[in-house]
Amino acid sequence: MSEILLQGVDLCCERGSRVLFESLNIEVCAGEVLQIEGANGSGKTTLLRVLTGLSEAVEGEVRWRGQPIRRVRESYHLEMHYLGHAAGIKEALTARENLRWHAALQGVAISDQAGASKVDEALAKVGLRGYEDVPCYTLSAGQQRRVNLARLYLLPAKLWVLDEPFTAIDKKGVAAIEALLTHRAQQGGAVILTTHQALHNVPGLRKLELK
């Protein structure tokens, strides 16, 4: 049986006076890709933020490797990548500088030639070859999104939590991300994502719908 990485136990979340979901139980194991579905306003982004520890549930608990995330917050965040709606980059920095900055946040110093090559390879894989030293404020919304996605190639954490990762991404880019999700699961990681994009090439995809 695969290792249980993340659990949400009896989660309840509200927006204003409206209950988004309650008594929600969620379990994600190594090797799984879980797609969260639901209508706009059903609480998909709220759920992802609760699972990452960025927001608090009204009731319930989130656990990482069996421990409440409040007790293992630092180690959990080192093993987890969260990509939200925003591009998640510093626009004044270049694409290359942004990836170095993200790596430093994960405790990975990229100072040698081998590390620099990995940064450039990650940018090339998301279609940004030739844009390594361009300030990100000059890039399109789709290109800025790709800079953030390049983190997944450079720093493959155990758990990826992705909120609409296909936004502003073309058809070729969608296929590349689907392949990346599959590879992450096959390597023993786990992925939780929301998307309006139909996923056709992700083996073993599991879905959870918020009503």
- pLDDT single digits (tens) 92-136: 999 999 999 988 888 777 877 877 899 999 999 898 999 999 999
Residues 193, 204 within the same domain: yes
What are 120's strand-pairing partners?
Answer: none
**Do 14 and 44 fall into the same domain?**
yes
Of the three residues 114, 132, 156, the one that is the final residue of a domain is 156
Domain of 16, CATH number, reads: 3.40.50.300
Q: Are residues 68 and 142 in the same domain?
A: no
How far are the Cα atoms of 24, 26, 35, 61, 71 from residue 147, in angstroms, in the given order?
A: 33, 30, 23, 33, 32
Distance CA 122, CA 149 (A): 9
Domain of 100 in residue numbering reads as 88-156
Query: Which segments of the chain does DSSP mark as H helices, in order?
Result: 44-52, 73-78, 95-105, 113-125, 141-154, 171-186
- pLDDT at position 87 is 77
| 165 and 150 share one domain | no
Please check whether residues 170 and 149 belong to one and the same domain.
Answer: no
Task: Say if residue 36 is in the same domain as residue 74.
Answer: yes
| 21 & 32 share domain | yes
Indicate if 3 and 75 belong to the same structural domain.
Answer: yes
Within this chain, do residues 75 and 163 fall inside the same structural domain, yes or no?
yes
Among residues 189, 207, 190, the alpha carbon closest in space to that of 198 is found at: 207
**Rounded Cα distance, 31 and 13, in Å:** 27
Q: Are residues 163 and 203 in the same domain?
A: yes
Q: Is 76 helix (H, G, I), strand (E, B) or coil?
A: helix
List, for residues 172-185, the tens digit of each pLDDT value. Answer: 888 888 999 999 99
Instruction: Please check whether residues 115 and 187 belong to one and the same domain.
Output: no
Residues of the chain with pLDDT below 50 are none
Q: What's the predicted TM-score (pTM) here?
A: 0.92
Q: Does residue 174 sit in the same domain as residue 210?
A: yes
Which of 156, 171, 191 lies at the terminal end of a domain, its last residue? Answer: 156
Q: Give the H or E element holding residue 138.
A: none
Angle between helices 95-105 and 141-154 (to 10 degrees): 40
How many domains does one find in the chain?
Answer: 2
What pLDDT is attached to residue 211? 83
* Strand 33-38 with 205-210, pairing: parallel
